[in-house]
Amino acid sequence: MRHGEQVTFGGSGLDRAAELRGDPARLAALVADDRARVLPLWRGKPLLDGGAALGWLAPGHAVLAEAAEAPILLGRDAAGPRFCADVSAFEPPQADLPPPGVFFDPSEQRHPALPRDWRFAELRGVMADLTPRDAELAATARALLSWHRSHRFCAACGAPSDPVGGGWQRHCAACGASHFPRTDPVVIMLVVRGNRLLLGRSPGWPEGMFSALAGFVEPGETIEAAVRREVAEEAGIVVGRVRYLASQPWPFPASLMLGCLGEAETDEIVLDPAELDDARWFTREEVADIVAGTHPEVRPPRRGAIAAFLVNAWLADRLD
């Protein structure tokens, strides 16, 4: 396996059992399997057990009574069939609700039908501590459930649609249209010039937070063209050669991060203030301090995010 395939949320080799999604009888048999387990999510937060693992429940567990729709098939694991379900109808105590307007939600919610140390928690805060298999399952579950919440009505005629195909489609009975989950491609790039790396920060980010530049791929655009356009628009830097490095599913809510290396041909930074508060060139020595947490101004990138993966790979000369 390439080093670039070891990024969080990827590389576990999950058997997604796509051939079973259109077979109701076989899907029902999977749910009835004694080894079947369901991962509940509350407002996009996966259930965690008392440690740093996902909290899997048997299909008949009381917590799953909060789900309005049938469990979604995630795939087959060595331990058995794996599903997910949205239990956002659960109403935790007011004191446990997420604080409004925060960049990162630190709150945790606990269900009375579960052990006290089991909790629903923000995936971005625990993603680097999960096993590769749990991380892939949690990312898939979060992305699928988010898609279902925002696509309850047919885009063709506006009528309500229903989940089918094990949760991997929605069907409109009114006009017959079928709808499938979508993933938005996003380029995220290490822009380098000699021994320096370009990092920027978006408006509203916490103090000291810098990261690699990123942006959505536009219709009719290649990955390479998107890298050059985004860097020019946001920071005024001209990028020449572009090379793909690695990808990461990013289910917040439904992106595929396409990590690239871009070789800058100019130095002068001209910010677009609508996109960036700041952008700077950092030497390799300064980046090493950032990663080590000893830089006086810039905090380390979030563990588990592809930006951290790429920056660390650049420092270690592992851009393979």
CA distance 224 to 217: 10
Q: Does residue 161 fall inside a structural domain? A: no
One-letter amino acid of 152: R
The total domain count for the chain is 2
pLDDT at 71: 97
25 and 133 housed in the same domain: yes
pLDDT at 162: 97
pLDDT at 128: 95
* Helix/strand number for the chain, H first, E second: 6, 14
CA distance 206 to 312: 21
Q: What is the CATH number of the domain that holds 207?
A: 3.90.79.10
What residue numbers bound the domain in which 48 lies?
3-150
CA distance 36 to 70: 14
CA distance 173 to 319: 49
pLDDT at 4: 64
280 and 238 housed in the same domain: yes
Per-residue pLDDT 10s for the chain (320 aa) are 566 678 999 879 999 999 999 999 999 999 999 999 999 999 999 999 988 899 999 999 999 999 999 999 999 999 999 999 999 999 999 878 888 878 889 999 999 999 999 999 999 999 999 999 999 999 999 999 999 999 999 999 999 999 999 999 999 999 999 999 999 999 999 999 999 999 999 999 999 999 999 999 999 999 999 999 999 999 999 999 999 999 999 999 999 999 999 999 999 999 999 999 999 999 999 999 999 999 999 999 999 999 999 999 999 998 87
27 and 146 housed in the same domain: yes
235 and 295 housed in the same domain: yes
pLDDT at 11: 74
Chain position carrying tokens 């990123």: 214
Beta strands 239-250 and 278-283: pairing type? unpaired
pLDDT at 99: 85
Q: Does residue 91 fall inside a structural domain? A: yes
pLDDT at 1: 52
Cα distances (angstroms) measured from residue 173 to each of 22, 58, 118, 160, 296: 17, 31, 39, 8, 59
140 and 204 housed in the same domain: no
pLDDT at 103: 84
